[in-house]
Amino acid sequence: MSVPAMFVLGLMSGTSADGIDVALARISGEPPHLNAKLLDCTSLSFPARVRVEILRVAEGDSATAGQLSQLNFRLGEIFAEAALRASRRFRVSPSRIALIGSHGQTVFHQGRAVPFLGNTTASTLQIGEPAVIAARTGITTIGDFRPADIALGGQGAPLVPYVDYLLFCHAKLGRVSLNLGGIGNVTVIPPAAKPAQVFAFDTGPGNMLIDALVAHFTRGRRRFDKDARLALTGRSIPALLDELMRDPYLRLAPPKSTGREYYGRAYVQKLLSAGRRHRARPADLIRAATSFTALSVVDALHRFVLPKNKIHQLIVSGGGAHNPLVLAQLAAALPEIEVLPSSCLGVSEDGKEAFAFALLAYETFHGRPANLPTATGARGPAILGKICYAPPR
Per-residue pLDDT, averaged over 253-272, amounts to 92
Per-residue pLDDT, averaged over 276-305, amounts to 98
Number of independent structural domains in the chain:
2
Say whether pLDDT at 308 is over 90. yes
| 384 inside domain | yes
Q: What is the pLDDT of residues 328-375, one digit of tens each?
A: 999 999 999 999 999 999 899 989 999 999 999 999 999 999 999 988
Report the pLDDT value the prediction gives residue 3, as an integer from 0 to 100.
Answer: 67
Kindly report the CATH number assigned to the domain that includes residue 147.
3.30.420.40
Rounded CA separation 165/200 (Å): 11
| 393 inside domain | no
Q: What is the pLDDT of residues 71-116, one digit of tens each?
A: 999 999 999 999 999 999 999 999 999 999 999 999 999 999 999 9
Q: How many whole angstroms from its chain centre is CA 345?
A: 19
Give the CA dihedral 235, 239, 245, 246, nearest 10 degrees.
Answer: -160
CA distance between the termini of the chain? 28
Q: Are residues 44 and 181 in the same domain?
A: no
Q: What is the pLDDT of residues 354-364, one digit of tens each?
A: 999 999 999 99
**Mean model confidence pLDDT for the chain:** 95
Q: Are residues 231 and 217 in the same domain?
A: yes
How much of the chain, in percent, has pLDDT values that exceed 90? Answer: 89
Q: Are residues 195 and 286 in the same domain?
A: yes
For the entire predicted model, the pTM comes to: 0.89
Q: Are residues 301 and 282 in the same domain?
A: yes
SS (H, E, C) 328-339: HHHHHHCCCCEE
Q: Are residues 203 and 333 in the same domain?
A: yes
pLDDT band, very low/low/confident/very high, at 238 (cuts 50, 70, 90): very high
Q: Are residues 41 and 119 in the same domain?
A: yes
pLDDT band, very low/low/confident/very high, at 2 (cuts 50, 70, 90): low
Domain that holds residue 57: 6-157+352-388
Q: Are residues 369 and 334 in the same domain?
A: no
Q: Are residues 152 and 169 in the same domain?
A: no
